[in-house]
Amino acid sequence: MNQLPINERVMKIKKDVDHIDRFIEEYKPFIASVVEKYAGRPVEYGVDDELSIALIAFNEAIQKYDINKGNFLSFARNVIKSRLIDYYRKERKDSGALIYIGQGTADEEEASLEIGFEESIKNYHEEEISRLRRLEILEIKEELAKWGISFLDLARSSPKREETRRTYLRVVDFILSSPEILKTIMEKRYLPLDKIEKATKISRKKFERGRNYIIAAVVILSGDYKYIKDYIRWR
């Protein structure tokens, strides 16, 4: 059966559940590629809801496919895309994102669909990034607590003058470029002020008051905090 052209194969397996299951399993990579294109990120079966939606849509495409309508994979891609739009519309219902499909030619409707879909995807990504950033903030809060530093402490130690901020950042840059110093700081949880002063030629009086700020910067910039790194302007 696998030797048949895909369009004929789909027509033949429509009512055969076992063959449909095997066919869907075979085309999981195709389904994932369609989802990734429109989601704009890697996806994983068993993790991302979009793939569950897409699997159902692919099965729906098999049931609704008519060989006279053209290539099956193109038809399936459109069905998956349509169901993803429904999914994102539901997810973003309370965010004010709208998907508009106008009354016009097929090309005009497709253009409206694309615009609405891209807007929905954009809103979804922005919300997802905000969620991940909040999670990173909680992780950073827990990490800094190990140093006895709270966000209030951090706010109090943040430099008010640009010159002071640049001094602190010179110290941060030195630490990040010195693996041994960085390892010592992260493992023993203290700033080796004398070593930093000697290596950077910066008087410890100029940076020891910024201990909390320097430690926070080192923790964040050396850690796996992608979204906070992008959000905070250190330079």
Count CB atoms within 10 A of the CB of residue 57: 24
Q: With 60 as the cut, is the pLDDT of residue 32 above it?
A: yes
More confident position, 233 or 197: 197
Instruction: Note down the domain range covering 138.
Output: 133-231
Please give the Cα distance from 44 to 65 (Å, whole number): 26
Do residues 47 and 92 make contact, with C-beta atoms less than 8 angstroms apart?
no
Tokens of 213: 């700020």
Rounded to two decimals, what is the model's pTM?
0.49
- Is the domain of 149 the same as that of 86? no
pLDDT one-digit tens code per residue, 79-107: 898 888 878 777 665 444 433 333 444 44
In a domain, 98, yes or no: no
What is d(CA 143, CA 112) in angstroms, rounded to the nearest whole number? Answer: 46
Count of domains forming the chain: 2
End-to-end CA distance of the chain: 62
Look at residue 25 and tell me if it is in a domain.
yes
CATH number at residue 36: 1.10.1740
Judged against a pLDDT cut of 90, whether residue 214 lies above it is answered with yes
Of 31, 65, 91, the last residue of a domain is: 91
Residue 126 in any domain: the answer is no
Quick check: is 111 in a domain?
Answer: no
Amino acid type, 2: N
| 120 inside domain | no
What is the pLDDT at residue 109? 44
Domain membership flag for residue 106:
no
Residue 119 lies in a domain: no
User: For residue 104, what pLDDT is reported?
Assistant: 44
Say how far residue 152 (Cα) sits from the centre of its chain: 29
For the segment 100-131, what is each residue's pLDDT rounded down to a tens digit? 333 444 444 444 445 455 555 565 566 666 76
82 and 165 share one domain: no
Name the token pair of 8: 């004929």
Instruction: Dump pLDDT digits (tens) for 43-68.
Output: 888 888 889 999 999 999 999 998 88
Give the residue from 41, 64, 91 where a domain finishes.
91
Are residues 146 and 206 located together in one domain of the fold? Answer: yes
